[in-house]
Chain A
Amino acid sequence: MVVTTHRPLPKELSDIQQEMEQHALDYGLDFFKTIFEVLDYEELSMFAAYGGFPIRYPHWRFGAQYDELMKGYSYGLQKIYEMVINTDPCYAYLLSANDITDQKLVIAHVYGHCDFFKNNAWFSQTNRKMLDQMANHATRVNRHIDNHGYETVETFIDTCLSLESLIDPYAPHIRRTHKAESKADTKRRIAEDAESTGGRFPAKNYMDRYINPEDALEEEANQKRQKAIELSDQLKFPKERVRDVLFFLLQYAPLEDWQRDILTIIRDEAYYFAPQGQTKIMNEGWASFWHSTIMTRHGLTDEGLINYADHHSGTMATSPNRLNPYKLGIELLKDIEERWNKGQFGPEYDNCTDMYEREHWDKDLGLGREKIFEVRRIHNDITFIDTFLTPEFCFKHRMFSFAYNDSNKTYEIQSREFQQIKQQLLNSLSNHGRPVIYVQDANYKNRGELYLEHEYMGIELKLDYAQDTLANLHSIWKRPVNIGTVVDDRPTILSYDGKKHSTNSKEKQ
């Protein structure tokens, strides 16, 4: 299997790598063995198009991604400096055109990522042998292509990809102890109930009304009916709403074996990439924190200074309508380090209302470094922001929240209030900014229709996309599909029956 280009690192770079690795170790970073390779831009773009993996199953979107990366580069709009993949050993790819200062910076940055991959709790369940797994997926997909034809398989992959975000990002961390009653168990229980004689004891005719008195039977029948109703509630399917829609489809959708296999592959890969989405700010912040620490203290030479400053500031650039995860991450980590060094935390500090005192608060505790290592171990972006974003920080970095104004189709600055900013940030980070969707009922209207529920949190779905996605869902479920959501502030059900879309909205409440 060709995993790498097997090009040894040139001497100049391998010296730098060893030096940077030593610095990283000295600072207490802890990473898997990291293998660096130097690639030209074409190769790097190719790897990037495949999400970092040299072998993926064939699909046009990788080609599209590659095309875009190459065009962006040739027009001078963008450049990838480096790429790391979360595996053991870690593979990192460097751009051959980088100058030596860039390579140093990038290598230091990479060690930050590798440390994060190894130690952050949200990565604890990922498959570190994903290179093999991806190659295995490619083999399986290629086999299905041989059997069923390229277009058929491609179309089905498109369908699955349309649903790929419908997973439960917390699922890998939940250990479920009780097993749900299986379908077979339920059937048997119903069958047993049906076999019972309805409470009537065997009796000779003339004795019957004594042994089986009318009102007692009545009572028993009532109880039974009650129980049947309860039972049918239990039969509601699924009993509890299901967040991992893909898993539900794998279990219950009428798929052919090869289709089930492809959906499994798409789901596996979605789970592999999920933690990277959940920790983007922290991961980039952490890597940036370490490249800047190592570079400014050890890595810089006189002639490299300008280049470093240029590249570093480019990475940290902000613009009004997009938040730079590198910048937010590194600044928050620096802020935490400083606060824990000075002791700016805990009830005493929190209750201090004297502005002057707060600002000059310094107990010289020196706990900062320890604290940020703890932060990188246990947090994801949401808990990170929730725990450590402060009003002072928002003020210092001129942060604001913005909102879409439907009347003039523009995004406008909405607030500079801390609570609003924080809430908005948390909202946009929850579920990677994607809508949260559950399987609510798989026997909707008692007709085997699928009913999904969008957990509405103030942001409406993009309707045309929702309809197209429903159509894809239908091609898997093969019965009418519905999703409950909110359109124009009204609870609405979007449906697709295989031929046409319909929209049912309730009256405004």
Chain B
Amino acid sequence: MVRRIDRDQQRFDKIIKGKVRQQLRKYINHGEMIGRKGRETVSIPVPNIEIPHFQHGEKGSGGVGQGEGEVGQPIGRGKSDGDGQGQAGNEKGQHIREVELTLDELADMLGEALELPRIEPKGDDALTSKKDRYTSIRPTGPDSLRHFKRTYKRALRRMIATNNYDPKDPMIVPTKDDERFRSWKTVTEPHTNAAVIYMMDVSGSMTDVQKEIVRTEAFWIDTWLKSQYDGIERRYIVHDAVAHEVDEDTFYRVRESGGTRISSAYRAADHIIQRDFPPSLWNIYCFQFSDGDNWGEDNSECIENLKQNLFPVCNLFCYGQVRSPYGSGDFIKELRKVEEEFDNLILSEIEDKEGIYGSIKTFLGTGK
């Protein structure tokens, strides 16, 4: 039985998801607001949606309480934990509500908000998988697949046609000829996979603020790519003067110090691709985040490396330069010099958290 409350609850759910949709930009910019993150879902805190009334604010408000304390002693901070006025403390304080969204829903919202084109994977029939689908009917088969309704209908038709059907005694006896069975077809489905390689500069000039920006941006990129491919594989590289392949958790937490040699990361990326992701079978994405501070002589080696190894095999090579108070921010200038030549090279400068939104659009807006 459908309960009344289910309809009201579903309606509420829709409204509250609409609220997230409306404010997606805010959620993107403040990635830390995304609360619990499960395998399939995320919980996003949204302020309770309320119907506005003429009601009292804080100014001039007060109430009556009970307990110990001197005059002048604070008993609660603003609306959030105490509720000053109202019906003798009967009204509720502000609530924050968590709304649970599947990552697909979130990706849809992102795609809509940023007007992202769907990605057209390269080598569309590079990988296929076989699947059985029950789509047709045939006259023979095992009993377990007998289609009762079809069988019954054929029997009824036959009996009416042969004038054996008596509505007052509606007995139907199917014969072997009436029997129908469900049947499958094996279909091949294109199966597209993507490999995503994240590279981050963890040298001394990258602070926690920069890393938070990287983390937020990587979350949204992941969400989008996941929705576009049947499966994605991710690899993480951190580097200062040398590069290391690390797991996801370490990627976000590690902090090194010392100089920077970006080419080390490129070599590591190339190594991973060679090892795990043959470019003919995989859609490869590289996202690199740095404050743009590189050891000067390394720059030419970087460009060389990109041209030789990475540009030819990547769907996209995205470089996001996060502004840092310590970095020089020069590296992007080197890349700009070759930007024209390679249309899979995407550059974005991220000033601060507010810049994440635009940066994601730049990276993913290509539809590649």
Interchain CA distance A4-B338 in the complex, whole Å: 75
B90-A325 in contact (CB<8A): yes
Q: Is B12 an interface residue (CB 8 A)?
A: yes
Contact for A411 among B74, B88, B90, B97, CB less than 8 A? B74
Q: Is B59 an interface residue (CB 8 A)?
A: yes
If the complex has contacts A428-B63, A459-B57, are A63 and B9 also in contact, measured as CB distance less than 8 A?
Answer: yes
> Binary interface profile of B, 28-70, with partner A (CB < 8 Å = 1, else 0)?
0000000000000000000011011111111111111111111
B69-A320 in contact (CB<8A): yes
- Looking at the complex, which of B75-83, B253-261, B328-336 is the stretch in contact with chain A? B75-83
In the complex, what residues of A have CB within 8 A of residue B4's CB?
A: 46, 50, 55-56, 58
- Looking at the complex, which of A249-257, A350-358, A398-406, A441-449 is the stretch in contact with chain B? A398-406
A461-B57 in contact (CB<8A): yes
B73-A429 in contact (CB<8A): no
> Binary interface profile of B, 1-26, with partner A (CB < 8 Å = 1, else 0)?
00111011111110100000000000
B51-A413 in contact (CB<8A): no
**Which of A64, A66, A381, A416: most chain B Cβ within 10 A?**
A64
Tell me the nearest residue of chain A to B99, going by C-beta: A67
Q: Contact residue range for chain B?
A: 35 or more
Q: Is B89 an interface residue (CB 8 A)?
A: yes
B88-A328 in contact (CB<8A): yes
Q: How far is the CB of A262 from chain B (nearest CB, A)?
A: 14
Interchain CA distance A328-B89 in the complex, whole Å: 12
If the complex has contacts A319-B67, A403-B62, A412-B74, are A63 and B13 also in contact, measured as CB distance less than 8 A?
Answer: yes
Tell me the nearest residue of chain B to A325, going by C-beta: B88
> Binary interface profile of A, 457-472, with partner B (CB < 8 Å = 1, else 0)?
0111111111011001
A409-B78 in contact (CB<8A): yes
Contact for A429 among B56, B65, B87, CB less than 8 A? B87
B53-A469 in contact (CB<8A): yes
In the complex, what residues of A have CB within 8 A of residue B67's CB?
A: 318-320, 398, 400
Q: Is B71 an interface residue (CB 8 A)?
A: yes
Q: Is A222 an interface residue (CB 8 A)?
A: no
A428-B75 in contact (CB<8A): no
B63-A466 in contact (CB<8A): no
B90-A404 in contact (CB<8A): no
Interchain CA distance A428-B82 in the complex, whole Å: 14
A433-B12 in contact (CB<8A): no
Tell me the nearest residue of chain B to A64, going by C-beta: B12
Q: Is A154 an interface residue (CB 8 A)?
A: yes
Q: Is A296 an interface residue (CB 8 A)?
A: no
Q: Which of B78-114 contact A (CB under 8 A)?
A: 78, 81-91, 95, 97
Tell me the nearest residue of chain A to B7, going by C-beta: A58
Q: Is A424 an interface residue (CB 8 A)?
A: yes
Q: Is B170 an interface residue (CB 8 A)?
A: no
B88-A429 in contact (CB<8A): yes
Q: Is A478 an interface residue (CB 8 A)?
A: no
Interchain CA distance A165-B9 in the complex, whole Å: 24
In the complex, what residues of A have CB within 8 A of residue B55's CB?
A: 434-435, 461-462, 465
B82-A322 in contact (CB<8A): yes
Tell me the nearest residue of chain A to B86, going by C-beta: A433
If the complex has contacts A63-B12, A402-B75, A404-B60, are A465 and B53 also in contact, measured as CB distance less than 8 A?
Answer: yes
Q: Contact residue range for chain A?
A: 35 or more
Q: Is B142 an interface residue (CB 8 A)?
A: no
Tell me the nearest residue of chain A to B11, going by C-beta: A60
> Binary interface profile of A, 25-63, with partner B (CB < 8 Å = 1, else 0)?
000000000000000000000100110000110111111
Q: How far is the CB of A455 from chain B (nearest CB, A)?
A: 11
A410-B3 in contact (CB<8A): no
B8-A410 in contact (CB<8A): no
Q: Is A241 an interface residue (CB 8 A)?
A: no
B54-A434 in contact (CB<8A): yes
Q: Is A158 an interface residue (CB 8 A)?
A: yes
Contact for B56 among A323, A424, A435, CB less than 8 A? A435
If the complex has contacts A424-B63, A460-B60, are A412 and B72 also in contact, measured as CB distance less than 8 A?
Answer: yes
Contact for A410 among B10, B70, B74, CB less than 8 A? B74
Q: How far is the CB of B54 from chain A (nearest CB, A)?
A: 5
**Which of B64, B71, B87: most chain A Cβ within 10 A?**
B64
A428-B66 in contact (CB<8A): no
Q: Is A281 an interface residue (CB 8 A)?
A: yes
A321-B63 in contact (CB<8A): yes
A468-B52 in contact (CB<8A): yes
B88-A321 in contact (CB<8A): no
If the complex has contacts A320-B69, A454-B54, are A402 and B10 also in contact, measured as CB distance less than 8 A?
Answer: no
A400-B69 in contact (CB<8A): yes
Interchain CA distance A406-B57 in the complex, whole Å: 11
If the complex has contacts A46-B3, A324-B89, A328-B88, are A66 and B9 also in contact, measured as CB distance less than 8 A?
Answer: yes
A404-B52 in contact (CB<8A): no
Q: Is A336 an interface residue (CB 8 A)?
A: no
Interchain CA distance A327-B67 in the complex, whole Å: 13
Interchain CA distance A327-B9 in the complex, whole Å: 34
Beyond contacts A322-B89, A428-B87: 15 other A-B pairs, Cβ-Cβ < 8 A, are A63-B11, A67-B97, A68-B95, A280-B88, A319-B66, A322-B88, A325-B90, A401-B64, A404-B60, A410-B74, A411-B75, A411-B82, A414-B71, A462-B56, A466-B54
A-B contact pairs, 8 of them (CB 8 A): A63-B9, A163-B53, A402-B64, A404-B59, A412-B73, A412-B74, A433-B85, A472-B52
Which 6 pairs, one residue from A and one from B, show the smallest C-beta to C-beta distance? A322-B89, A63-B8, A63-B9, A403-B62, A468-B52, A63-B12
